[in-house]
Amino acid sequence: MARSILFYTDSRTLGGAEHALLMLAEALDRGSWQPTLLLEEAPGAERLAERAEATGLTVRWIEPLPLGASGARRLPAAARFVRGERPDVFHAHLSWPLAAKYGLATACETAM
């Protein structure tokens, strides 16, 4: 039985970090791993989603988790989503020092 891995990025571009994420996911043995990419519903993320789907990844969407109070208020819903997915591995991909801050908090909340 394949183990699930939930890749997360809050990126809205298709740059170096995102290409690295896609190369990593694409190189996984699909007999052992079932990868899914979790993206925030935000302008610009569609291009990354299209590229991910072209490599065979399933793409799932959540509401954006912007820095600040509005993103923090959405953490419980994001945590419920991740908990419902029950991934064996949660891999947050960072493109800058504060990137994926709330995604990591979501994963920590889910692990408790």
In terms of Cβ atoms closer than 10 Å to its own Cβ (0-12, 13-18, 19+), residue 24 is middle
The pLDDT of residue 111 is 61
The pLDDT of residue 12 is 81
Q: What ranges do the domains of the chain cover?
A: 13-111
Can you give the pTM of this predicted structure?
A: 0.85
Q: Among 25-34, 38-47, 71-80, 87-96, whose mean pLDDT is lowest?
A: 87-96
Calculate the alpha carbon distances from 14 to 29, 47, 48, 58 in Å. 23, 7, 6, 17
Rounded CA-CA distance 94/21 in Å is 10
Query: pLDDT grade, residue 33 (50/70/90)?
Result: very high
